[in-house]
Structure 1
Amino acid sequence: MLKGLTGRKAAAKGGSFARHGVTTVLVTAATMGLGLLTGILVARTIGPEGRGALTAVLTTIQMLGWLFGMGCGKAVTYALSRDHSAGGRLLSTWTLILLPLAALAIGTGYLLLPLLLAAQPVETLVLARLYLPMIAMALLAELMLGLILGDQDFRSFNALNFIQPAGVATLYGVLWATGHFTVEAAVIVQAAMSTLVLVVATALLVRRHGIGRPDPALGRRTLWYALRTHGDVVGGVITQRLDLLIIPAFLPAAQVGLYALATSLSWLIVSLSSALATVVMPAATRRGQSGRTLVLNSLQVTFAIGGLLGGGLFVFADIAIGLVYGPSFADSALPLRLLLPGAVLYAAASILLNGLYAENRPFTATTANLLGMLVTLGGLLLFLRSGGILAAAIVSTVAYTLVFATAATLYRRATGLPWRVFLPDPAMLAALPRRLIALAKPSPATAAPAGPAGK
Structure 2
Amino acid sequence: MHNGSTGQAAAAAPARRSFARDGVATILVTAATMGLGLLTGVLVARTLGPDGRGALTAVLTTAQLLGWLFGMGCGKAVTYALSRDPRAGGRLLSTWTLMLLPVAAAAVLTGHLLLPTLLAAQPPETLELARLYLPMIALALLSELMLGLVLGDQDFRNFNALNFLQPAGVAVSYAVLWAVGLFTVETAVIAQAAMSTLVLVAALLILLRRHGVGRPDLALGRTTAWYALRTHGDVVGGVITQRLDLLIIPAFLPAAQVGLYALATSLSWLIVNLSSALATVVMPAAARRGRSGRDLVLNSLQATFAVGGVLGGGLFLFADIAIGLVYGPSFADSALPLRLLLPGAVLYAAASILLNGLYAENRPFTATLANLLGMAVTLGGLLLFLRSGGILAAAVVSTVAYALVFVAAAALYRRATGLPWRAFLPDPALLASLPRQLLNKPPPAAATAAGHTRE
Q: Which amino acid aligns with 1:364?
A: T
Matches for 1:71-220 after TM superposition, within 5 Å: 71-220=73-222
| 2:46 aligned residue (34, 44, 47) | 44
Could you say if the C-alpha distance between residues 48 and 80 of structure 1 is closer, same or farther in structure 2, counting changes exceeding 3 Å? Answer: same
| 1:299 aligned residue (283, 298, 301) | 301
1:56, CA displacement in angstroms? 0.2
Distance 1:92 1:3 in 2: 45
Could you say if the C-alpha distance between residues 19 and 427 of structure 1 is closer, same or farther in structure 2, counting changes exceeding 3 Å? Answer: farther
Distance 2:124 2:435 in 1: 51
Structure 1, 220-229 or 239-248: larger mean CA deviation: 220-229
Q: Deviations over 1:381-432 (max 9, x none)?
A: 0000010000000000000011111111112222222222221235657889
Structure 1, 327-336 or 214-223: larger mean CA deviation: 214-223
CA contact (8 A) 1:364 1:410 kept: yes
Give the structure 2 partner of residue 440 of structure 1: none
Q: Deviations over 1:253-309 (max 9, x none)?
A: 000000000000001111113320122223333333333332222222212211111
SS in 2 for 1:274: helix
1:231, CA displacement in angstroms? 1.1
Q: Deviations over 1:134-169 (max 9, x none)?
A: 001100111111122222222211111111111111
Distance 1:432 1:359 in 2: 30
Distance 1:219 1:22 in 2: 34
Distance 2:432 2:136 in 1: 45
Could you say if the C-alpha distance between residues 202 and 253 of structure 1 is closer, same or farther in structure 2, counting changes exceeding 3 Å? Answer: same
Give the structure 2 partner of residue 241 of structure 1: 243
Q: Deviations over 1:356-403 (max 9, x none)?
A: 222222111111111100000000000000100000000000000111
| 1:341 aligned residue (337, 343, 353) | 343
CA contact (8 A) 1:59 1:245 kept: yes
Distance 1:152 1:49 in 2: 42
Q: Which amino acid aligns with 1:214?
A: P
Q: Which amino acid aligns with 2:244?
A: L
Q: Which amino acid aligns with 2:36?
A: L
Give the structure 2 partner of residue 441 of structure 1: none
Give the structure 2 partner of residue 391 of structure 1: 393
Where does the alignment leave 5 or more consecutive residues of structure 1 unmatched?
A: 437-455
Distance 1:135 1:426 in 2: 49
Could you say if the C-alpha distance between residues 427 and 157 of structure 1 is closer, same or farther in structure 2, counting changes exceeding 3 Å? Answer: farther
Runs of 4+ aligned structure 1 residues displaced above 6 Å come to 429-436
Give the structure 1 partner of residue 443 of structure 2: none
Distance 1:251 1:406 in 2: 31
Could you say if the C-alpha distance between residues 98 and 336 of structure 1 is closer, same or farther in structure 2, counting changes exceeding 3 Å? Answer: same
Structure 1, 6-15 or 106-115: larger mean CA deviation: 6-15
Matches for 1:372-411 after TM superposition, within 5 Å: 372-411=374-413
Where does the alignment leave 5 or more consecutive residues of structure 2 unmatched?
A: 439-455
RMSD of aligned C-alpha atoms? 1.9
Give the structure 2 partner of residue 357 of structure 1: 359
Could you say if the C-alpha distance between residues 81 and 121 of structure 1 is closer, same or farther in structure 2, counting changes exceeding 3 Å? Answer: same
Could you say if the C-alpha distance between residues 395 and 433 of structure 1 is closer, same or farther in structure 2, counting changes exceeding 3 Å? Answer: farther
Structure 1, 65-74 or 318-327: larger mean CA deviation: 65-74
CA contact (8 A) 2:275 2:353 kept: no
CA contact (8 A) 2:275 2:352 kept: no
CA contact (8 A) 1:149 1:282 kept: no
1:186, CA displacement in angstroms? 0.2
CA contact (8 A) 1:273 1:303 kept: no
Q: Deviations over 1:331-377 (max 9, x none)?
A: 00000000001111111111111122222221111111111000000
Q: Which has the higher contact order (CA 8 A, sep 6+)?
A: 1
Aligned-residue identity in percent: 83
Matches for 1:429-440 after TM superposition, within 5 Å: none
Distance 1:47 1:133 in 2: 27
Task: Please report the TM-score for the alignment, with normalisation by the length of structure 2.
Answer: 0.92
Task: Please report the TM-score for the alignment, with normalisation by the length of structure 1.
Answer: 0.92
Could you say if the C-alpha distance between residues 89 and 289 of structure 1 is closer, same or farther in structure 2, counting changes exceeding 3 Å? Answer: farther
Distance 1:60 1:351 in 2: 27
Distance 1:380 1:435 in 2: 48
Distance 1:261 1:4 in 2: 52
Structure 1, 130-139 or 346-355: larger mean CA deviation: 346-355
CA contact (8 A) 1:81 1:282 kept: no
SS in 2 for 1:212: coil
Structure 1, 386-395 or 201-210: larger mean CA deviation: 201-210
Distance 2:433 2:195 in 1: 39
